[in-house]
Amino acid sequence: MRMIRKAGSHELEIRKSRFICTLARVHSEAEAAEFLAGHRRAHRDATHNCTAYVLGEHGEITKSSDDGEPAGTAGIPMLEVLVRRGLTDTAAVVTRYFGGVKLGAGGLVRAYGQAVAAAVDTVGVVELRPVVTMTVRVDHALAGRFLGDLHGSGRQPGDVRYGDGVEADVAVPVEDLEGFQAWAAEVTAGQAHMTRGATGHIEVPVND
């Protein structure tokens, strides 16, 4: 799964018209509708507020609107950019302030697509990768070395708790789970106690 790194906007000027694309993370159709409706209210003076969104683990839910532009010249090109970038849980609205020069159907298609593409480039993209939280417990005598080796391996612990022993929560990519368990056993000479916890996701920046 891919989604935008954060909400944001970007503005282009094309033949005197302003095209302002605003992007947001959304996780349901209701949330997408609320975001888009709020944006339209905030920019009710605009010539058009054209929209598109993609939802679902596989991007299976899509919707777009031309908002008065000629059919197929705004919402669909916007949606195609989101789909082509492999994004999901992402909503886009392009606010157009007409500058007096007509662009024609082809020009509109290019303008709305360019506006979304530029906004995606501006805010960035992340890939959601499945991880399992592994809780590793070691004695105090081993804790310093283990945590040092953990940092040295490029793995950052989430929560570290000190009690009778030391427990560290480590988010491990699912595909690396067996390798991590073997590594932890090796660096602690088999004295680490490991418990498998919840499954979640981490966000990894994507550089296309």
Question: Encoding tokens for residue 1?
Answer: 């799964």
* Global pTM value: 0.76
- Domain identity same for 107 and 172: no
Q: Is the pLDDT of residue 208 over 80?
A: no
In this structure, are residues 66 and 73 in contact, taking their beta carbons and an 8 Å threshold? yes
How far, in Å, CA of 59 to CA of 140, rounded?
47
Tell me: do 9 and 80 sit in the same domain.
yes
pLDDT at residue 158, as a whole number: 84
Q: Are residues 110 and 163 in the same domain?
A: no
Claim to verify: residue 112 and residue 40 sit in the same structural domain: yes
Q: Select from 98, 57, 49 the least CA-distant residue to 75.
A: 49
Residue range of the domain that includes 155? 127-206
**Three-class DSSP labels, 101-128:** CCCHHHHHHHHHHHHHHHHHHHHCEEEE
Do residues 60 and 89 share a domain? Answer: yes
Q: Give the pLDDT score at 199.
A: 86
Do residues 8 and 110 share a domain?
A: yes
Q: Domain check: are 61 and 89 in the same one?
A: yes
CB 130 within 8 A of CB 201: yes
CATH number for 103: 3.30.230.30
Is 93 found in the same domain as 25? Answer: yes
Among 90, 108, 123, the domain-final residue is: 123
Q: What are phi and psi of 132, to 5 degrees?
A: -115, 135
Give me the percent of the chain exceeding a pLDDT of 70.
100
Dihedral sign (CA 10, 13, 14, 18): positive
For the sheet containing 61-65, what is the strand order?
A: 8-14, 17-25, 90-97, 48-55, 61-65
Q: What is the largest CA-CA distance in the chain?
A: 74
pLDDT at 153: 87
pLDDT in tens, 71-117: 999 999 999 999 999 999 999 999 999 998 999 999 999 999 999 99
Residue for token pair 């040092």:
148
| Of 120, 95, 127, 123, residue with least CA distance to 13 | 95
Q: Residues 48, 84: one domain?
A: yes
In this structure, are 109 and 196 located in the same domain? Answer: no
| Domains contained in the chain, number | 2
